[in-house]
Amino acid sequence: MLENLERIKVQFKEELNLAEMKDELERIRVAFLGKKGLVTEALKDLHNLDAEAKKTAGMQVNMLKNEIEKAIVDYQKVLEEREYQKELENAERFDYSIPSDKPVGAMHPITIVQKQIEDIFKTMGFIVEDGLEIQTEFNNFEGVNIPKNHPARDMTDTYYLDNGQLLKTHTSAAQNAIMKKYGAPKTGEPLKVLFPGRCFRNENIDACHENTFFQLEGMMIGDDISISNLIYFMKVLLTEVFQRDVKVRLRPGFFPFVEPGFELDINCSICGGVGCPTCKNSGWLELLPCGMIHPNVLRLGGIDPDKYTGFAFGLGLTRLAMMKFNIKDIRLFNSGSLKQLKQFTV
């Protein structure tokens, strides 16, 4: 009996070693453990033994049965792993490290400057809003206190659409909607918003003029906002963008939606303020218009001008990108020339 078991064991091992597919494994299982399998037969043979021999032999047969069951399960795993590896070998290979023959993307210089300014202002608690490019006449003009007969509303300056709407000529077109959206500051915490966007004006295009350009506008409205707040935020902004301590000065400037209105200049980075051709010998570069939001504009936006004040500034993002990256021709921005546009980094 024991010899017989030993033979079965050896035979099982030989057959198992030869098996290469899962279905062969199943055949082996049936051949040994199935109804007429060798182990099952051996169990039946136990009947012929006397009680004592039956006990030891019985244990041996059961041990062999368990051993075979376990070996089959283990081997099944080995075969599955082998099959998986084979599938992997045959699968289509994709090597991520091979350099692409397609052009690699890069951020547009205007996007770089826009993101940089957004990051600076976000750390100072500003939210960023996305103004529409197609606007109503009201939002673009009346809402910001530009009356019907204002020259900026002329067909030669503004692209009107057939439906009476227009392509926004400045980011200020979003002021009214933003004021209505957020309302007067309720918690004592001022409303601080940044709204960059693409603007359109009917200009003849040359190295300095484009009909499509970017502005970045900001507003801060609260209980007690003054020109000092305006100057502070503008100084932080410009110092970060130009990576130097910039001096600023305000000159009076007229925009119907601010009162008082200013032109903010920075000291010329080329000559350090002593005067050079870039700054037309004045030592200053005109950079951004700004001012205290006109009471009419607040009122139209649903904010009580007797309780609240605010400042607004409108930065020429396209012009700032030209200054920062020393780009001489504005036409580069909309040229789609990847070769040139890809070269700018923060």
CA distance 60 to 51: 14
Coil/strand/helix, residue 111: helix
* Residue 314 engages ligand PHE in binding (rule: CB under 6 A): yes
One residue of 135, 136, 140, 172 binding ligand PHE per CB under 6 A: 172
* Residue 255 engages ligand PHE in binding (rule: CB under 6 A): yes
One residue of 42, 68, 191, 258 binding ligand PHE per CB under 6 A: 258
Structure tokens at 343: 């070269």
Q: Which residue, 28 or 264, has its beta carbon nearer to ligand PHE?
A: 264
User: CB atoms < 10 A from the CB of 163, how many?
Assistant: 8
* Residue 217 engages ligand PHE in binding (rule: CB under 6 A): yes
* Residue 289 engages ligand PHE in binding (rule: CB under 6 A): yes
CA distance 182 to 266: 32
What is the chain's Cα-based Rg?
Answer: 40
Coil/strand/helix, residue 23: helix
Coil/strand/helix, residue 320: helix
* Residue 313 engages ligand PHE in binding (rule: CB under 6 A): yes
One residue of 68, 312, 317, 330 binding ligand PHE per CB under 6 A: 312
One residue of 185, 291, 301, 310 binding ligand PHE per CB under 6 A: 291
> What residues from 91 to 130 belong to the interface with ligand PHE (CB under 6 A)?
none
Crossing angle of helices 38-45 and 51-90, rounded to 10° = 170
Q: Is 164 left (phi over 0), alpha (psi -120 to 50) or beta?
A: left
Shortest spacing between CB 95 and ligand PHE, in angstroms: 51
One residue of 25, 220, 290, 298 binding ligand PHE per CB under 6 A: 290
CA distances from 100 to 95, 96, 337 (A): 11, 9, 19
Bridge partners (DSSP) of residue 128 are: 194
* Residue 167 engages ligand PHE in binding (rule: CB under 6 A): no
| Candidate ranges 77-85, 89-97, 289-297, 322-330; the one touching ligand PHE (CB under 6 A) | 289-297
One residue of 12, 113, 166, 170 binding ligand PHE per CB under 6 A: 170
Can you give the binding site for ligand PHE, defined by CB under 6 A? Answer: 170, 172, 217, 255, 258, 289-291, 312-314
